[in-house]
Amino acid sequence: MRTKFKAWTKPYIDEHSEYSLADEEISSLDDFYLEIGSGKGDFIIQMSEKYPNRFFLGVEKNVTCAGITLKKIVEKELKNVKFLFRDGAEVIRLLKNHSVNKIYLNFSDPWPKKRHSKRRLTSVSFLEEYKRILKSDGKLVFKTDDLDLFNFSLEMFNETGFKIISSTYDYDGSDPDDAVTEYQTKAIEKGMSIKRAVLGL
């Protein structure tokens, strides 16, 4: 599903730098919750409202999605969120070792072609970086409706030494440390099952 380009989003993002962070600030973050690929923001907004004592960082590289999410954050005046219109790979590189409590990957782009597999957010190079930035008791939480991506990811978790805390092909949405995303709503409407895994180090 492609998001139709909206011209207002880039100027809006530029006007609302109060929710962004400079590289040095990204590098000094500690004790926070990271979502890569926030889409239109349903997850990070619900989670930041549900857990006001947690600090959330959202990252989204699509300008229209980033603008839509940021507008919701600005309108709700959320105090425990920062949001970056950037590529997650770039942001992760800036983060310091063992600084993240949880990394959430929700309905990440599947990149089904083999030649694009390195772009998947659960490919080995990303997972090695997640291991570096997660706290020793940190978790990676991965949710998707894409069976091939899920199976690929389970293999990669195993290859990189992540421990599977839980894994299901039919997630019922009952974990309190979770919120429904835009893609999840669409998948449920289509009768698709949700796959979800929680990983530790």
Ligand X SMILES: C[S@@+](CC[C@H](N)C(=O)[O-])C[C@H]1O[C@@H](n2cnc3c(N)ncnc32)[C@H](O)[C@@H]1O
Separation CA 60–CA 84 (nearest Å): 6
Choosing from 9, 88, 198, 199, the residue that interacts with ligand X (CB under 6 A) is 88
Q: Which residues partner with 164 through β-bridges?
A: 199
Binding flags for ligand X, 102-141, as an x/- string (CB under 6 A)? ----xxxx--------------------------------
Choosing from 21, 26, 36, 194, the residue that interacts with ligand X (CB under 6 A) is 36
For residue 51, the minimal CB distance to ligand X (Å) is 18
Smaller CB separation from ligand X, 23 or 163: 23
Residue 105 in contact with residue 142, Cβ under 8 Å? Answer: yes
Residue 148 in contact with residue 170, Cβ under 8 Å? Answer: no
- At 15, is the secondary structure helix, strand, or coil? helix
Q: Does 146 bind ligand X (CB under 6 A)?
A: no
Smaller CB separation from ligand X, 116 or 163: 116
Choosing from 30, 87, 155, 175, the residue that interacts with ligand X (CB under 6 A) is 87
Smaller CB separation from ligand X, 3 or 80: 3
Separation CA 67–CA 201 (nearest Å): 34
Q: Measured on CA atoms in the order 21, 27, 31, 32, is the torsion positive or negative?
A: positive
Phi, psi angles (nearest 5°) of residue 106: -115, 115
Question: Residues in the site for ligand X, rule: CB under 6 A?
Answer: 36-39, 59-62, 65, 87-89, 106-109, 181-184
